[in-house]
């Protein structure tokens, strides 16, 4: 192999590998919290989580291998074109065909890897995911009960515990209320003063109840009612198996069918989905070849744009290709195009376009010249780099300083920002904005890919899709900003170090700690801005994008209410008995209950003192009270029934909870700012709802913006330790650091969500851990 060929291949391959890792990381990030939640919540080890990660990779490689081939060709050739190396090669007699032959080596390798992945690896990985989903649906880790929360996760049981005290091998509960809802119309109630609980198995808790009562009625016969007491009794609690466990992208098992079986099924009468899947398994690997045909001429002609124009071309071509691909598949599913033609539509169009561009490049056509003109940018008038900056401004700055008194000159030297600060800040912000915009664009593209089928199937207007993407962008900016800080710091300081500019700064007496001040100032400003952004704008944008997504998915408008939450703790007042409400339906607009039961009990022992049932209960606005119809009331004194009466129409003035108390909105944490979420949590906790996940999200709103500062502190020592290896190494290190951080952050938050860690500790642990690591490495770096 010629030296020149190896040189070009090295450029293309290095960019392709980094691109593959970067695209895979972006696609994997949304799935990471789900995997970590599985590790914490289920009886799964970290090896099982690693298996899930490996099983998901083949599905991601379907998309990322063609993209990495394209980005490798475009960025590699663009870098050579920007340094005029392409001009030198062509002047030595190498035509466009030579670059096609070299790039085709990478394209063919990518196509072969993609074919092996789609035909053999991915189906087996998908089958393994399906089997793992089935095993997860039948398994559950030991459950940790929180006090003052209603739990409906048990088989035909609802549990409420007033106080929980953990112990070695067992837990001690105080004041227990349990309803057996095998017959929802007549729940059997058990109360107890205390209980000792042990895990009998992964799916069962064994309770030993003490000093309790059991209440049981007969449906349709309110006069028949039994009350029994006990000193001790043992009751098992069986956890319901998890139902909706989804680890992969699969909506159907067709993705897990072996290719040999798929070839047999395409001859069946109803074979459309099998034919689409079979063609997909060949079309996506072939995309490496057709994208190469377009990427070579665009990369060769990017003389002035360099890597930036190559990056823009990559985003543009990826958007066009996958929009055409997903649109074709959607049209095939609706019988508007033959499956084979629809799946290969994007490849056919790109093959024609690539052949045309290559012909224009070989013949010097005007189309290539016009495209090249679009990528041109005005060259810098005086070069770049710290030496140029000092050279350009040196004489003018010296003249100004000499005209000032010495005291003024000393003050100026200590000012912030100085010329050097402005230079570092400009380089950092340029890279930060480019990375942030690029990542957000990629995430928007992938989101659009997922929705193309729904858009066509539900006939959604493009204006609606555009509004959805516009309202989704703020959330993506908030999520990606810390990662963009990490990459921007690594690349900026890596380039400064490679160009010996940091050595020059140190030689002039500038400490490393003084050099990083502008970066930390920007990171701190960004952290404050992210918190303000989340406080004042992001929640309303998230609410809007959730509504638009429901429209695109063809779902009815959501009310964001909990129609299924039938148990709620009453609003307590001093000196009153405790009160639990159970209902089968509540119309919040009409303020009306159907089949409402009220259980009143002694707060000290949890023994029932009164039970009320009514077939219909409505709110009388004029009287300001509830009207109970067609029901009965029964009062108890210990295990004895003190009184019983039936009624047609009555009121209970002591029941003071108003209709708004029962309309508990089920809002997402990202749809509220810090103050709103804090008030929402207090309201739900008082009513007996599980708020642990929301409390973690509340502290996360404070902790997450500071990730920008943590990433900056962590990136600086890594960047300085890379030596002269450049920006590609910086991006590779950034991917590793970011993946590690997001895994640790997701793991701590998952532990907090299931009450294994306090909410503040779950939200702040990753910031503290990585912040201390970054600070230590920064202090150990030679200044």
- pLDDT (average), residues 115-120: 92
**In this structure, what DSSP letter does residue 672 have?**
S
- pLDDT (average), residues 169-178: 84
User: DSSP string of 199-224?
Assistant: EEETTEEEEEEEEEEEEEEETTEEEE
Pair 427, 501: CB distance under 8 Å = no
Q: Which residue has the tokens 């801005």?
A: 529
Integer Cα distance of 344 and 276 in angstroms: 10
Identify the CA nearest to 213 among candidates 609, 569, 688: 609
Q: Residue 252 above 60 pLDDT?
A: no
- Residues whose CB is less than 8 angstroms from the CB of residue 477 and which lie 6 or more positions away in sequence, other chains included: 436, 440, 533
Q: Which residue has the higher pLDDT, 476 or 86?
A: 476
Q: Count of H helices and E strands in the chain?
A: 26, 12
State which H helix or E strand residue 179 sits in.
Answer: strand 171-180
Pair 21, 735: CB distance under 8 Å = yes
Least confident of 448-452, 520-524, 548-552, 655-659: 448-452
- Residues whose CB is less than 8 angstroms from the CB of residue 580 and which lie 6 or more positions away in sequence, other chains included: 160, 177, 567, 568, 569, 570, 598, 599, 601, 688
Q: Residue 426 above 80 pLDDT?
A: yes
Identify the CA nearest to 297 among candidates 13, 108, 98: 98
Least confident of 135-139, 242-246, 301-305, 353-357: 242-246
Give the pLDDT confidence score for residue 116 in this predicted structure.
94
Say what percent of the chain tops pLDDT 90. Answer: 16
Give backbone dihedrals phi and psi of 428, rounded to 5 degrees, phi first.
Answer: -65, -45
Q: Which residue has the higher pLDDT, 115 or 169?
A: 115
Both tokens assigned to 154:
């048990």
Integer Cα distance of 781 and 778 in angstroms: 5
Give the pLDDT confidence score for residue 561 in this predicted structure.
41
> In this predicted model, what pLDDT tens digit does every residue of 174-183 receive, in sequence order?
888 899 888 8
Q: Residue 564 above 80 pLDDT?
A: no
Pair 290, 103: CB distance under 8 Å = no
Task: Name the packing angle between helices 419-457 and 517-536 (round to 10°).
Answer: 40
CB-based burial, 577-616: b 16+ in 10 Å, e otherwise: bbbbbbbeebebeebbbebbbbbbbbeebbbbbbbbbbee
Integer Cα distance of 79 and 15 in angstroms: 10
pLDDT bucket at 408, cuts 50 / 70 / 90: very low
- Residues whose CB is less than 8 angstroms from the CB of residue 163 and which lie 6 or more positions away in sequence, other chains included: 147, 173, 174, 175
Q: Which of 356-365, 513-522, 544-553 has the highest mean pLDDT?
A: 513-522
Give the pLDDT confidence score for residue 552 in this predicted structure.
85
CB-based burial, 486-499: b 16+ in 10 Å, e otherwise: bbbbbbbbbbbbbb
Integer Cα distance of 20 and 348 in angstroms: 24
pLDDT bucket at 111, cuts 50 / 70 / 90: very high
Pair 226, 216: CB distance under 8 Å = yes
Give the pLDDT confidence score for residue 241 in this predicted structure.
52
State which H helix or E strand residue 634 sits in.
Answer: strand 625-637
Q: Residue 588 above 80 pLDDT?
A: no
Query: Which CB contacts under 8 angstroms, 24+ apart, belong to 91-95?
Result: 94/4, 95/362
pLDDT bucket at 646, cuts 50 / 70 / 90: very high
User: DSSP string of 86-124?
Assistant: HHHHHHTT--HHHHHHHHHHHHHHHHHHHHHIIIIIHHH
Give the pLDDT confidence score for residue 22 in this predicted structure.
79
What is the SS3 assignment for 454? helix
Cα atoms found within 13 Å of the Cα of residue 512, Cβ hemisphere only: 17
Identify the CA nearest to 668 among candidates 552, 545, 574: 545
Integer Cα distance of 27 and 439 in angstroms: 11
What is the SS3 assignment for 182? coil
Kindly report the number of other CB atoms within 10 A of residue 757's CB atom.
20
Both tokens assigned to 34:
């789900």
The radius of gyration computed from the CA coordinates of the chain, to the nearest angstrom, equals 33
Least confident of 100-104, 208-212, 358-362: 358-362
SS3 content of the chain, % helix, strand, coil (to 5): 60, 15, 20
Q: Which residue has the higher pLDDT, 8 or 247?
A: 8
Cα 726 to Cα 224, 389, 499, 721, distances in angstroms: 83, 21, 9, 11
Q: Which of 151-155, 163-167, 331-335 has the highest mean pLDDT?
A: 331-335
Give the pLDDT confidence score for residue 401 in this predicted structure.
42
217 φ/ψ sector (left φ>0, alpha ψ -120 to 50, else beta)? beta
Cα 85 to Cα 2, 76, 82, 348, distances in angstroms: 16, 11, 8, 32
- pLDDT (average), residues 651-665: 81
Q: Residue 201 above 50 pLDDT?
A: yes
Q: Which residue has the higher pLDDT, 354 or 721?
A: 354
Cα 473 to Cα 52, 440, 455, 468, 477, distances in angstroms: 29, 7, 19, 9, 6
Give the pLDDT confidence score for residue 478 in this predicted structure.
93
Both tokens assigned to 500:
């010996």
Give backbone dihedrals phi and psi of 595, rounded to 5 degrees, phi first.
Answer: 55, 65
Give the pLDDT confidence score for residue 764 in this predicted structure.
92
Integer Cα distance of 251 and 411 in angstroms: 66
Do you find a cis peptide bond into 602, omega within 30 degrees of 0? no
Q: Which residue has the higher pLDDT, 423 or 242?
A: 423
Pair 58, 125: CB distance under 8 Å = yes
Both tokens assigned to 450:
């997922």
Integer Cα distance of 353 and 368 in angstroms: 12
Integer Cα distance of 319 and 37 in angstroms: 32
């Amino acid at each position: 192999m010629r030296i020149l060929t190896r040189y070009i291949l090295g450029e293309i391959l290095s960019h392709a590998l980094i691109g593959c890792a970067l695209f895979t990381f972006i696609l994997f990030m949304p799935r990471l919290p789900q995997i970590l939640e599985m590790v914490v919540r289920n009886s799964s080890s970290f090896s099982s989580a690693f298996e899930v990660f490996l099983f998901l990779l083949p599905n991601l490689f379907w998309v990322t291998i063609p993209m990495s081939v394209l980005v490798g060709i475009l960025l590699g050739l663009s870098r050579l074109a920007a340094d005029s190396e392409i001009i030198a090669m062509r002047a030595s007699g190498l035509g466009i065909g030579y670059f096609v032959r070299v790039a085709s080596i990478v394209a063919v390798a990518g196509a072969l890897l993609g074919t092996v992945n789609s035909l053999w690896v991915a189906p087996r990985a998908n089958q393994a995911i399906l089997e793992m989903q089935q095993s997860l649906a039948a398994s559950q880790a030991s459950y940790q009960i929180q006090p003052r929360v209603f739990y409906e996760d048990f088989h035909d049981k609802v549990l409420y515990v007033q106080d929980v005290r953990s112990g070695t091998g067992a837990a001690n509960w105080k004041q227990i209320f349990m309803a057996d809802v095998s017959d929802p119309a007549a729940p059997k109630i058990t109360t107890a003063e205390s209980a000792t609980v042990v895990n009998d198995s992964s799916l069962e808790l064994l309770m030993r109840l003490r000093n309790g009562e059991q209440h049981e009625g007969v449906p349709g016969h309110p006069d028949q009612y039994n009350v029994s007491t006990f000193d001790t009794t043992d009751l098992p609690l069986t956890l319901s198996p998890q139902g909706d466990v989804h680890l992969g992208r699969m909506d159907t098992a067709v993705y897990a069918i072996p290719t040999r079986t798929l070839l047999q099924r395409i001859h069946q009468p109803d074979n459309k989905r099998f034919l689409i899947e079979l063609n997909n398994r060949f079309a996506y690997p072939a995309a490496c070849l057709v994208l190469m045909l377009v990427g070579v001429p665009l990369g060769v002609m990017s003389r002035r744009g360099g890597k930036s124009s190559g990056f823009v071309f990559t985003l543009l071509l990826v958007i066009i290709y996958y929009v055409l691909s997903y649109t074709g598949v959607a049209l095939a599913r609706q019988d508007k195009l033959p499956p084979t033609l629809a799946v290969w539509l994007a490849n056919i169009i790109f093959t024609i376009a690539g052949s045309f561009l290559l012909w224009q490049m070989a013949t010097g056509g005007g189309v290539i010249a016009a495209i090249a003109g679009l990528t041109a940018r005005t060259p810098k008038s005086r070069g770049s780099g710290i030496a140029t900056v000092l050279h350009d401004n040196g004489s003018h700055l010296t003249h100004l300083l000499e005209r000032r008194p010495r005291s003024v000159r000393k003050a100026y030297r200590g000012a912030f920002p100085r010329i050097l600060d402005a230079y570092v800040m400009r380089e950092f912000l340029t890279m930060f904005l480019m990375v942030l915009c690029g990542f957000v664009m990629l995430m928007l593209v992938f989101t659009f890919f997922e929705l193309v089928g729904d858009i066509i199937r539900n006939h959604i207007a493009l204006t609606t899709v555009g509004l959805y993407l516009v309202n989704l962008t703020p959330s993506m900016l908030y999520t990606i900003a810390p990662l963009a800080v990490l990459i921007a710091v690594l690349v900026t300081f890596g380039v400064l170090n490679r160009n010996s500019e940091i050595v020059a700064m140190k030689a002039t007496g500038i400490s490393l700690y003084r050099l990083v001040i502008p970066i930390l100032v920007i990171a701190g400003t960004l952290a404050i801005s992210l918190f303000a952004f989340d406080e004042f704008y992001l929640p309303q944008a998230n609410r809007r994008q959730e509504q638009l997504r429901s429209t695109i998915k063809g779902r009815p408008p959501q009310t964001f209410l909990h129609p299924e939450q039938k148990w709620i703790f009453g609003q307590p007042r001093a000196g009153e008995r405790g009160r639990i409400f159970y209902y089968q339906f509540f119309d919040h607009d009409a303020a009306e209950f159907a089949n409402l039961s009220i259980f009143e009990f002694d707060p000290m022992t949890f023994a029932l003192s009164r039970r009320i049932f009514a077939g219909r209960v409505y709110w009388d606005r004029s009287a300001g009270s509830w009207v109970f119809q067609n029901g009965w009331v029964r009062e108890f004194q210990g295990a004895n029934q003190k009184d019983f009466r039936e009624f047609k129409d009555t009121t209970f003035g002591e029941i003071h909870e108003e209709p708004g108390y029962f309309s508990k909105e089920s809002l997402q944490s990202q749809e509220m700012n810090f103050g709103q979420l804090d008030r929402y949590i207090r309201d739900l906790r008082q009513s007996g709802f599980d708020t642990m996940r929301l409390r973690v999200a509340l502290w996360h709103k404070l902790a997450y913006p500071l990730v920008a500062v943590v990433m900056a502190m962590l990136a600086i020592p890594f960047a300085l330790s890379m030596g002269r290896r450049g920006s590609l190494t910086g991006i590779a290190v950034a991917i590793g650091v970011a993946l590690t951080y997001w895994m640790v952050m997701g793991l701590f938050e998952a532990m907090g969500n299931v009450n294994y860690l306090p909410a503040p500790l779950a939200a702040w642990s990753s910031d503290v851990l990585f912040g201390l690591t970054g600070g230590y490495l920064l202090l150990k770096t030679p200044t």
